[in-house]
Amino acid sequence: GQQLNQSPQSMFIQEGEDVSMNCTSSSIFNTWLWYKQDPGEGPVLLIALYKAGELTSNGRLTAQFGITRKDSFLNISASIPSDVGIYFCAGTGGSQGNLIFGKGTKLSVKP
Amino acid sequence: DVKVTQSSRYLVKRTGEKVFLECVQDMDHENMFWYRQDPGLGLRLIYFSYDVKMKEKGDIPEGYSVSREKKERFSLILESASTNQTSMYLCASSSGQITDTQYFGPGTRLTVL
């Protein structure tokens, strides 16, 4: 079945740094979603993307739906300690009935 | 705001016990989902339901069953819990198309001894 490759698996950064993570698919996706999961909690939706080329911001977060429809990235600017958590990408493609999730990027922020 | 609640945050059971995990959503969503989350494996879909009394197998349904008697409630059942079912279980719901944005509950961390 379809798979999502999410990278990097983990990141250790200093407070104030910018962060970038991405997801790629072997096939075309129609929707890209980015979630954040705080430790011990369920994932919370950050940004949803529905059109190729779409660039959407949510505060310090910016995400883009790749032109090829096979990738998406999430940027976090000026990271703060509460950005710590696991970030998941998810998407839906033409041949797949359900949301497919990446394996997550674990972000650690040093104050 | 969408609210998805799960009956327990932490649960400890013994091997062979029957386990019920309950999930309730308050947004009249048609679709509900059960996932398990394990380190290095991400979220894996166990079962989902797109309507009352309807259920579909996900990627890893073995050892689990589900029940959806009311629109707002979706139960995950472990008929005979085993240690390899120790995991974080996440419930989600969505409206409209089965591929629409999913909203998650806080999760239940199940330990099977």
Alpha carbon distance A15, A109 (integer Å): 6
Per-residue pLDDT of chain A (111 residues; tens, 9 = 90+): 567 899 999 999 999 999 999 999 988 888 999 999 998 899 999 999 999 999 999 999 999 999 999 999 999 999 999 999 999 999 887 555 678 899 999 999 998
What does the alpha-carbon distance between residue A108 and residue B4 come to, in Å, rounded to a whole number?
A: 27
Query: What is the rounded CA–CA span in Å between residue B61 and residue A73?
Result: 31
Q: Which residue type, as a one-letter code, is found at position B57? A: K
- Centroid of chain to Cα B32: 8
Task: Tell which A residues from 9 to 38 touch B, by Cβ distance under 8 Å.
Answer: 30-31, 33, 35
Q: Chain B window 3-62: which residues touch A at a Cβ cutoff of 8 Å?
A: 4, 9, 33, 40-43, 45, 48, 58
